[in-house]
């Protein structure tokens, strides 16, 4: 008779970004993932990825065993600057007189996790606001 203790299954995270101002996915947005084991523990940077043409980030690093909190950091400033530059190139007569304005240059989302659960956290984004939710 053997006694083995099975490790609690780890949690996993995925995300995608929809640009609600354009009605399409946000491509090439850098996303970083950090985790901690307990609310007072230091954050551990796990790595990151970038959104694909469908706005999805499918290859985020696995979460360490014991993770209780996760933080996703979205670097959206470069995305909006490129989007504005592309729009100005397409329609130079409609240029705004001011410099590029990005109200939220980055978005940080922190949430609690339980062992064995998958967390899909979509970001709905526009130049002056954002919304997140736990998806499926």
Name the β-bridge partners of 66.
none
Specify if 38 maps to a domain: yes
Q: What pTM was computed for the model?
A: 0.84
Domain count for the chain? 1
Domain contains 94: yes
The enclosing domain of 108 has a CATH number of 2.60.40.180
Q: What is the pLDDT of residues 54-110, one digit of tens each?
A: 999 989 999 999 999 999 999 999 999 988 887 777 655 444 444 457 899 999 999
Residue 88 lies in a domain: yes
- Is 1 part of any domain? no
Q: Which domain holds residue 117?
A: 12-132
Nearest alpha carbon to residue 29 among 70, 82, 69, 86? 82
């Amino acid at each position: 008779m053997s006694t083995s203790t099975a490790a609690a299954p780890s949690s996993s995270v995925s995300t995608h970004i929809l640009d609600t101002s354009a009605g399409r996915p946000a491509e090439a947005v850098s996303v970083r993932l950090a985790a901690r084991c307990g609310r007072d523990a230091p954050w551990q940077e796990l790595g990151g990825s970038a959104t694909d043409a469908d706005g999805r980030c499918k290859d985020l690093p696995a979460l360490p065993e014991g993770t209780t909190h996760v933080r996703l950091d979205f670097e959206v400033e470069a995305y909006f600057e490129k989007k504005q530059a592309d729009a100005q190139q397409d329609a130079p007569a409609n240029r705004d007189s001011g410099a590029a304005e990005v109200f939220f240059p980055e978005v940080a989302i922190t949430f609690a996790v339980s062992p064995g659960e998958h967390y899909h956290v979509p970001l709905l984004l526009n130049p002056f606001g954002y919304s997140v939710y736990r998806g499926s």
